[in-house]
């Protein structure tokens, strides 16, 4: 191949170019070429052979020692360095650390490969309700401003029609701030914030410190709301609020530069009003949240 003439340049490809294309070193090429010419004149394919002195034990024997060492070790997740050291200084098996690493890698014995796989959690249920005021969802996002730095935006979303029932933009994401969207929802939906006014409503929320505080939990119990916590590290179980926040960020936050939190407040308020009135959702047969609520009221009245 190295002596083949290129049809473009009219010159031979050369050993360097061919070895680079085949991903072998030129020293390996010349070594095996010399060995082949010395033993036989018959042209044969190059056979990869180990260079240098022959090791004391073969790779198969080394593999068995590695497996025995891993099985006898009282610990889990150990890497090739500890295996190599035990084989060398406890069993007297001479093998380089890189060779132990190679053998373990080729046989999927490195620590990441030995960790038991966590079974996937299949979510075959739904968090969308068939009627309003069965479950609400709440969550928060952070927004950067030039003058005020980081700020918070809390929101409350109806699981039935994905309507945003309340929001609150503030500097500090405290337990008091987290309750503001719920207070707005109490007034908008029930017309009051009295005791047990929202009895029967479940509130889907994550494990944020605001939501776990005694003040927050006692207040929602005063309203008659029962907490429904999302699963840890599974944000999809709070998917209605999470999806609304993603829409909010994509439509009103990303790509904008806000001078202060007051600008954020105006932008969020304008978007939520537009969202509730005009945003069409596939799960609602491409109706907006307010159109869905109006149709529900009309059907109920009839």
Same domain membership, residue 239 and residue 98: no
**Residue found by looking up tokens 């890698």 in the block:** 105
Cβ atoms within 10 Å, residue 10: 7
pLDDT values of the chain reduced to their tens digit, one per residue, 302 residues: 556 666 666 667 677 877 887 778 878 878 877 877 766 544 445 555 666 778 888 999 999 999 999 999 888 888 999 999 999 999 999 999 999 999 999 999 998 877 776 676 666 678 999 999 999 999 999 999 999 999 999 999 999 999 999 999 999 999 999 999 999 999 999 999 999 999 999 999 999 999 999 999 999 999 999 999 998 888 888 999 999 999 999 999 999 999 999 999 999 999 999 999 999 999 999 999 999 999 999 987 65
pLDDT at 281: 94
Residue 91 counted as domain residue: yes
Cα(11)–Cα(27) distance, integer angstroms: 23
pLDDT at 88: 92
Same domain membership, residue 290 and residue 181: yes
pLDDT at 46: 53
For residues 177 and 290, is the Cβ–Cβ distance under 8 A? no
Residue 123 counted as domain residue: no
Same domain membership, residue 209 and residue 101: no
Same domain membership, residue 179 and residue 83: no
Domains of the chain: total: 3
Residue 139 counted as domain residue: yes
For residues 155 and 250, is the Cβ–Cβ distance under 8 A? no
CA angle 170/173/179 to nearest 5° reads 85
Residue 129 counted as domain residue: no
User: Which letter does DSSP use for residue 56 in this model?
Assistant: S
Three-class SS of residue 261? helix
Residue 122 counted as domain residue: no
Instruction: Using alpha carbons, list the distances in angstroms from residue 284 to 36, 146, 279.
Output: 75, 38, 10
| Domain containing residue 104 | 59-114
Cα(65)–Cα(225) distance, integer angstroms: 62
pLDDT at 9: 66
pLDDT at 30: 82
Same domain membership, residue 19 and residue 139: no
Cα(237)–Cα(203) distance, integer angstroms: 12
For residue 265, the domain's CATH number is 3.30.420.10
For residues 105 and 116, is the Cβ–Cβ distance under 8 A? no
Structure pTM? 0.62
Residue 119 counted as domain residue: no
Cα(154)–Cα(139) distance, integer angstroms: 6
pLDDT at 27: 83
Residue 46 counted as domain residue: yes
């Amino acid at each position: 191949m190295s002596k083949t003439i290129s049809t473009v340049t009219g010159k031979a490809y050369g050993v360097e170019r061919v070895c680079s294309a085949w991903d072998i070193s030129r020293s390996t090429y010349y070594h095996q070429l010399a060995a082949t010419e010395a033993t036989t004149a018959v042209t044969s394919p190059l056979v990869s052979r180990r260079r240098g002195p022959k090791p004391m034990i073969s790779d198969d024997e080394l593999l068995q020692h590695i497996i025995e060492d891993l099985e006898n070790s009282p610990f889990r997740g150990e890497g090739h360095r500890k295996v190599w050291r035990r084989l060398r200084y406890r069993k007297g098996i001479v093998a380089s650390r890189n060779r132990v690493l190679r053998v373990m890698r080729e046989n999927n014995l490195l620590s990441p490969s030995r960790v038991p796989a966590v079974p996937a959690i299949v979510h075959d249920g739904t968090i969308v309700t068939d009627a309003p005021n069965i479950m609400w969802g709440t969550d928060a996002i952070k927004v950067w401003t030039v003058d005020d730095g980081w700020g918070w935006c809390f929101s409350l979303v109806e699981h039935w029609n994905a309507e945003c029932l309340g929001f609150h933009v503030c500097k500090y994401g405290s337990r008091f701030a987290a309750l503001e969207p719920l207070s707005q929802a109490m007034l908008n939906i029930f017309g009051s914030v009295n005791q047990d006014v929202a009895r029967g409503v479940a509130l889907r929320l994550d494990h944020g410190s605001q939501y776990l505080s005694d003040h927050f939990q006692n207040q929602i119990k005063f309203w008659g709301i029962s907490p429904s916590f999302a699963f840890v590290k599974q944000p999809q179980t709070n998917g209605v609020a999470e999806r609304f926040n993603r829409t909010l960020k994509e439509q009103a936050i990303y790509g904008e530069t806000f001078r202060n939190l007051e600008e954020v407040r105006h932008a969020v308020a304008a978007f939520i009003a537009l969202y509730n009135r005009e945003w069409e959702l596939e799960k609602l047969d491409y109706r907006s949240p307010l159109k869905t609520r109006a149709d529900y009221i009309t059907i109920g009245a009839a």
